Structure 1
Amino acid sequence: MMNPPVPPSVLQNIFPTAEEDAKLGNTPTAVPQTEHPAYRLAFQDADFLLREDLRPVRFQLELMKPEVLLAEADIHSTFVFYGSARIPSPEEAPALIAAAETPERKAVAARLARNAQYYDVARELAVKVSTFCKDGERCFTVCSGGGPSIMEAANRGAWESGAPSLGMNIVLPHEQVPNPYVTPGLSFQFHYFALRKMHFLMRAKAVAVFPGGFGTFDEFFELLTLVQTGKVAPLPILLYGREFWNRVVNFEALAEEGVIAPDDLKLFHFVETAEEGWAIVKAHYGL
């Protein structure tokens, strides 16, 4: 007969914790051996953890840290917002146009300003989803990339409704500070895009995609691929801005060329307003 497993509490009484040993290990007697980096505890040795061959460990840490903290915060389902970091808020749009110095830049600024309406739409949608509860539990926690523009609008809507929201920031060559509306304890920073994208979708119950550039395209089309191939269960994918998307992507041509199936065009919904998008989500889940 096998012996029963030893309860974790008993193991903790037998062995010192990592925290305890870390304190002891930081105050060794100063001799050549203890002064050498090789003597550091492995989990306290930043130089060791940053080595090229420790990448698998860093992957695991970047997967685990948000996972553990979100579980502790009791956040199990999210409403994800994708979109440009360059679209201004309606209040900022006039200044953006005024600052443009050439006709070409003024034209670009005018197009960005035209999409400023989606800042307010994202903000309004975030309010709606943040305040919805079923059986006393919040069903959708707003999650964005944590940056400015559309991302800021999403976190701002949650903040204005008194709800927590996530920010999944990433290290970029030019510093990107989290927008001020992300809940501080739910603001994460990533090194690996792959792990960041995993965390975007691991708890996602719906995704709203607003006009954006390469980053938004990357996230949106990867999501479509995952649903198309059955790696992610079907979920509401709201594509905001029919005029924008049909100008930059010819979805119908993809089907006509045979590289996607006509039914693949049903994986997402073109929408314009917060009410329209929220109605699709509620219908999908029978809320």
Structure 2
Amino acid sequence: MSEKKHNSEENTTENPLDGKNWSEIKSNDSWAIFKIMSEFVNGYEKLAKIGPCVSIFGSARTKSDHPKYKLAQEIAFNLTQKGYGVITGGGPGMMEAGNKGAQRGGGTSVGLNIELPMEQEPNPYIDQDKNLNFDYFFVRKVMFVKYSQGFIVMPGGFGTLDELFEAITLIQTFKISRFPIVLVDSSFWSGLIGWVKEVLLTRENNISASDLDLFTIVDTADEAVQVIEDFYKRYMLKPNF
């Protein structure tokens, strides 16, 4: 019975290659380069003018009455009072909270929107001239890293983890300059970081102890903003230098 159920489930999954000519698919790859180039050029031209900003990541599914939504909004507002703008993924949930807080604080509010079949619609709190749309996740992630002076990482799902670990990896491997990465809500992150310490570091020796210094865990809006402020004071750097 389990086998029949398995087969039935398999039949409901559409094969993206059904009815398509493989050579035709491959030939379209070359033309995709121009679309990718256009997204890079448009992103570089618009984001080079935004000034110092901090990216706020988190779940698109978080509702506006959730305490963490309100916390993200407070963090964004506090950042604007320190002279930073806010960059988000442009969608609902934590992204909306970040843009809403930035707008309330009178700061720059940027949205890097990605076209998805679900969840992702631009939120109404993005500056009109700072709402960018992307087809490619990897282009969008380049923009986050290149034009952010710090990452505030709220509770989220796979996409949030992807953005977090990519940033840590790029800093760890010296592909980009170091910037502050702040994980908000210790109760959410403690399990993951515990596994990183116990398995990746201690048991498997897959990372160095110093890699754990690449991020900071906090619980309040004031703590999150203070980490950003302390980083640039400690290293005597200026955002967007």
Fold match, TM over 0.5? yes
Corresponding residue number in structure 1 for 2:216 = 269
Contact 2:154–2:184 (Cα < 8 Å) also in 1: yes
Corresponding residue number in structure 2 for 1:170 = 114
The separation in 1 between residues aligned to 2:143 and 2:120, in whole angstroms, is: 19
Does residue 240 of structure 1 match 2:215?
A: no
The separation in 1 between residues aligned to 2:35 and 2:53, in whole angstroms, is: 25
- TM-score for the superposition, normalised by structure 2: 0.80
CA RMSD of aligned residues (A): 1.7
Written as runs of structure 1 = structure 2, the 5 A alignment for 1:65-76 is: 65-71=42-48, 74-76=49-51
- TM-score for the superposition, normalised by structure 1: 0.68
Q: 1:123 aligns with which of 64, 73, 93?
A: 73
Aligned residues: percent identity? 37
1:175 and 1:262, CA in 2 relative to 1: closer, same or farther beyond 3 A? closer
Greater C-alpha Rg:
1
1:190-248 per-residue CA deviation (whole Å, 9 max, x = no partner) reads 01100000001111111100111110010000001001001121111100121111224
The separation in 2 between residues aligned to 1:164 and 1:235, in whole angstroms, is: 20
Q: Unaligned regions of 5+ residues in structure 1, if any?
A: 1-49, 91-115, 134-139
Corresponding residue number in structure 2 for 1:79 = 54
Residue type of the partner of 1:83? G
Contact 2:53–2:148 (Cα < 8 Å) also in 1: yes
The separation in 1 between residues aligned to 2:90 and 2:30, in whole angstroms, is: 30
1:108-153 per-residue CA deviation (whole Å, 9 max, x = no partner) reads xxxxxxxx322112111111111223xxxxxx22000001111111
Corresponding residue number in structure 1 for 2:159 = 215
Corresponding residue number in structure 2 for 1:155 = 99
Which runs of at least 4 in structure 1 moved beyond 6 Å after TM superposition?
none
Contact 2:50–2:108 (Cα < 8 Å) also in 1: no
Q: 1:183 aligns with which of 120, 127, 130?
A: 127
Residue type of the partner of 2:72? A
The separation in 2 between residues aligned to 1:142 and 1:219, in whole angstroms, is: 16
Corresponding residue number in structure 1 for 2:228 = 281
1:40-69 per-residue CA deviation (whole Å, 9 max, x = no partner) reads xxxxxxxxxx95421222111100112112
* SS of match in other structure, 2:86: strand
